[in-house]
Structure 1
Amino acid sequence: MRFPGLGPVLSAVVTALTLTGVAAVPAHAGPVARSATPETTETTEFTTTVHGDAADVYAPAPAKIHHDLPVALLLQGADVDKSRYSAFARAVASYGFAVVVPNHSRVVFGQAGLFAEEAQASWTAAWMQQEDIRAGSPLRGRIDTASLVLLGHSFGGAAGLTLTTGACVPPFCGEPATAPAQLKAAAFYGTNNTPPGGTGSPPVPNAVPVALVQGTADGVASPASAEGTYDALLNPPKMLVSVTGANHYGLTDIQNPPGARPDPVPQTVAQDRSVKAAARWSAMFLRTALGDHWSAVWLYGVGDSVDGDVTVEYVK
Structure 2
Amino acid sequence: MSRFSALPLRALSALVLAATVTVAAPSIAKADPSSPIEPAAVSSYQSKIKNDGTGVHYPTNAVGELPVALLLQGGKVHRQYYSQYAAAVASYGFIVVTPNHKRLNFFDHDYYTSTSQVAETLSWMAAENASAASPLHDRIDTDTMVLLGHSFGGATGLSIAEDKCSIPFCTTLSFDLPSAVKAGSFYGTNNAILGIYPTIDNQIPVQLVQGQSDGMAEPAQAETSYTKIANGHKQIVRVTGANHYGITDVQNPSGAEAEVNSQSLSQATSIAVTARWAALWLRAQLGDTAAATYVYSTGDASDAAVTVTSAP
Residues 147-173 of structure 1: per-residue CA shift (max 9 Å, x gap): 100000000100110111011012101
Q: How many Å apart are 1:195 and its aligned residue?
A: 2.3
Q: Which amino acid is the alignment partner of residue 185 of structure 2?
A: A
Q: Which amino acid is the alignment partner of residue 163 of structure 1?
A: I
- Any unmatched runs of 5+ in structure 2? 9-34
**Which residue does the alignment assign to 2:176?**
178
Alpha-carbon separation, structure 2, partners of 1:240 and 1:101 = 23
Query: Is the aligned partner of 1:297 residue 2:293?
Result: yes
2:278 equivalent among 249, 263, 282? 282
SS for the counterpart of 2:7 is coil
TM-score, length basis structure 2: 0.88
**Which residue does the alignment assign to 1:118?**
115
TM-score, length basis structure 1: 0.87
Q: Which amino acid is the alignment partner of residue 187 of structure 2?
A: Y
Q: How many Å apart are 1:257 and its aligned residue?
A: 0.3
Query: Is the aligned partner of 1:250 residue 2:224?
Result: no
Question: Is the helix fraction higher in 1 or 2?
Answer: 1
**Which residue does the alignment assign to 1:36?**
36
CA contact (8 A) 1:244 1:310 kept: yes
**Which residue does the alignment assign to 2:305?**
309
Alpha-carbon separation, structure 2, partners of 1:73 and 1:144 = 13
Q: Which amino acid is the alignment partner of residue 39 of structure 2?
A: E
Alpha-carbon separation, structure 2, partners of 1:193 and 1:46 = 33
Q: How many Å apart are 1:126 and its aligned residue?
A: 1.3
SS for the counterpart of 2:294 is helix
Query: Is the aligned partner of 1:46 residue 2:20?
Result: no
Residues 140-197 of structure 1: per-residue CA shift (max 9 Å, x gap): 111111110000000010011011101101210112332222100000000001223x
Alpha-carbon separation, structure 1, partners of 2:300 and 2:46 = 35
RMSD: 1.4
2:187 equivalent among 170, 173, 189? 189
Task: Say if 1:291 and 1:256 are closer, same or farther in 2 by CA, change over 3 A.
Answer: same
Alpha-carbon separation, structure 2, partners of 1:103 and 1:170 = 20
CA contact (8 A) 2:4 2:283 kept: no
Alpha-carbon separation, structure 1, partners of 2:224 and 2:66 = 33
What pairs up with 1:19-168 in 2 under 5 angstroms?
A: 29=3, 31=5, 33=7, 36-40=36-40, 42-61=41-60, 63=61, 65-168=62-165
Alpha-carbon separation, structure 1, partners of 2:149 and 2:176 = 17
Alpha-carbon separation, structure 2, partners of 1:251 and 1:259 = 16
Q: How many Å apart are 1:135 and its aligned residue?
A: 1.4
Q: Percent identity?
A: 44
Taking CA–CA contacts closer than 8 Å with sequence separation of 6 or more, which of the two structures ends up with the larger relative contact order?
1
Q: Which amino acid is the alignment partner of residue 7 of structure 2?
A: A
Alpha-carbon separation, structure 2, partners of 1:150 and 1:267 = 25
CA contact (8 A) 2:209 2:239 kept: yes
Aligned residues between the structures? 284
Residues 68-112 of structure 1: per-residue CA shift (max 9 Å, x gap): 110000000011010100010000000000000000011111111
Q: How many Å apart are 1:122 and its aligned residue?
A: 1.2
**Which residue does the alignment assign to 1:24?**
none
**Which residue does the alignment assign to 2:27?**
none
CA contact (8 A) 1:217 1:245 kept: yes
Q: How many Å apart are 1:39 and its aligned residue?
A: 3.3
SS for the counterpart of 2:103 is strand
Residues 263-296 of structure 1: per-residue CA shift (max 9 Å, x gap): 1111111111011111000000000000111111
Once structures 1 and 2 are overlaid, which stretch shifts more, 30-39 or 79-88?
Answer: 30-39
